[in-house]
Amino acid sequence: MKLDEIEGATGRPSLIGRISGGLRTAFRGGVDLAMPPNCLACGRRVAADGALCPACWGTLRLIEKPYCAQLGIPFAYDLGPNVLSAEAIADPPPFERCRAVAAYDDVSRKLVHGLKYRDRQELARWMGVWMARAGQEVVAEADVIVPVPLHRWRLWRRRFNQSAMLAAAIGREARKPVDLHGLKRVKATRQQVGLTANERDDNVRGAFLVARNERAAIAGRRVLLVDDVYTTGATVKAATRALLRAGAAAVDVLVFARVVRGVQ
């Protein structure tokens, strides 16, 4: 006899029915409690996986057009297509275009630090999806995606390279090849945090290299260079120069967050 037939006979749930129903509810509740979707930035409960809560979403400053065609710095007004910022004109970068999901502020910093220092590797998947969307244009034109590498000592200490995880996630999302080994960091640089713009340039000068036997993967290709944060651009500029020296046809840059003056 089925449980619903027992319930139906008396018009009230039987003891067995009540226990069974209680267990079903508890089990469903248990599953929900074990795997609740949480806000990626603050951990508050949200409706779906890979989402931000309304409070975090409301403060995340997405970078959308209009922006500098080259550096991707947001403009207050739309000045027309292909307009460059004063920074791009004064100090032209070696890469063609840089795109970012968001300004580097409280919420985006939580995501970047969560991935980099707190071992929350599940973040890479969602951040990669957002990057593939924000950088749609540069991703579509890329022949190969290359992450900014860590020096092997730092990689050994940290165990994983957050930029490589983002590059892999973007590659999966956009179905593009990812080259994790072509570009090497040959100089153990100091952390860029706390250095001035000039010190940052000096620190990463000559830090990157494409080994001779890896050049075939880069030469003649349009490369999309991926990093987590763009601060002064010293790191991605040095990495871009190494890729161009190895014969890359062009380099674009895609980061999760970029420092925007007045927003930090």
Residue 42 interacting with Zn ion (CB under 5 A): yes
Taking the complex as a whole, the smallest distance from the CB of residue 30 to Zn ion amounts, in Å, to 24
Q: Which of residues 156-195 bind Zn ion (CB under 5 A)?
A: none
Question: What residues from 55 to 84 belong to the interface with Zn ion (CB under 5 A)?
Answer: 56
Query: Judged by CB, which is closer to Zn ion: 60, or 174?
Result: 60
Q: Please give the order of strands across the beta sheet that includes 98-103.
A: 98-103, 250-258, 222-230, 144-147
Give the nearest distance from C-beta 117 to Zn ion in angstroms: 18
The residue whose two tokens read 């040095």 is 238
* Nearest by Cα to 164 from 115, 204, 220, 209: 115
Binding mask of the shown chain, residues 10 to 39, with x at each position contacting Zn ion by CB under 5 A: -----------------------------x
CA-to-CA separations, 108 to 43, 60, 186, 193, 221, in angstroms, rounded: 14, 7, 29, 17, 31
Q: How far apart are CA 209 and CA 188, in angstroms?
A: 13
Pair of tokens at residue 183: 């570009």
Select from 53-61, 176-184, 227-235, 245-253 the region that touches Zn ion (CB under 5 A): 53-61
Shortest Cβ distance from residue 39 to Zn ion (Å)?
3
List residues binding Zn ion (CB under 5 A): 39, 41-42, 44, 53, 56
